[in-house]
Amino acid sequence: MSYIEYVTADHRVENPLPELARTNRFTMADLDQNRNGKISDTQWTRLLLRALQPVRYTGGALLGWLLACWIVKTVVPGFILMILAWLGMKGLGAIFGAVTLACVGAFLVSAIKSAHTTALLLVDLKLGKAACIEGRVLPSREDERGLGMARIHGEKHTHHWYVVKDEYFAVDEAAHAALPDAMPGRLYHTPKSKLLLSIEPK
């Protein structure tokens, strides 16, 4: 990772478990199963969707960008494009090409990563076992350049994690914000695919 920022939470929550459960989408019944070293039946679907999350973002960005390119090609008259080229904006086509390649490349990389994670997850689901790691749980995030129109506008896409003993577990922004700073906790996860199942204060 090129840049990691550890974030200090301003809020102090007396009992953070209900908010952690809500934002990480697990129930107390799920947590009980995880404490017993098992993946609950209700967690299967959420785990599969989480394994495909990178493809959902990059795939959506790629489709949106291709749609924008198609609209430009269809709606903008050819003579306007010729005028733009005459005015010295020949590099516009190169920019569109570079963004398209970036979107395609990001999609392929995410598809390979998701396929790898999904294969490991299927092994985890077959065994049905949950792993546990204990220690201080730190919120972490990393910004990367956006894709498609977001790249043109200079917008960023942010990844969020919980970090325990140098192990990274992907979460969304709401779950990231719900974690008290450096909370001593127990984090339950799938052993091979390293996907978060549930978390509780220690």
Q: 31: left (phi > 0), else alpha (psi -120 to 50), else beta?
A: alpha
Kind and range of the H or E run holding 157: strand 156-164
| Domains of the chain, each with CATH number or no CATH | 5-201 (2.40.50.660)
Tens digit of each residue's pLDDT (9 = 90 or more) over 1-17: 443 444 444 444 478 99
Tens digit of each residue's pLDDT (9 = 90 or more) over 63-104: 887 888 787 778 766 656 565 555 555 556 667 778 888 888
The two most distant CA atoms of the chain are separated, in Å, by 70
- Residue 161 neighbours by CB under 8 Å, 6+ apart: 139, 140, 141, 168, 169, 170, 171, 176
Residue 193 and residue 51 in contact, taking contact as beta carbons nearer than 8 Å: yes
Scanning 76-172, the segments in alpha helix (DSSP H) are 78-86, 91-127, 149-152
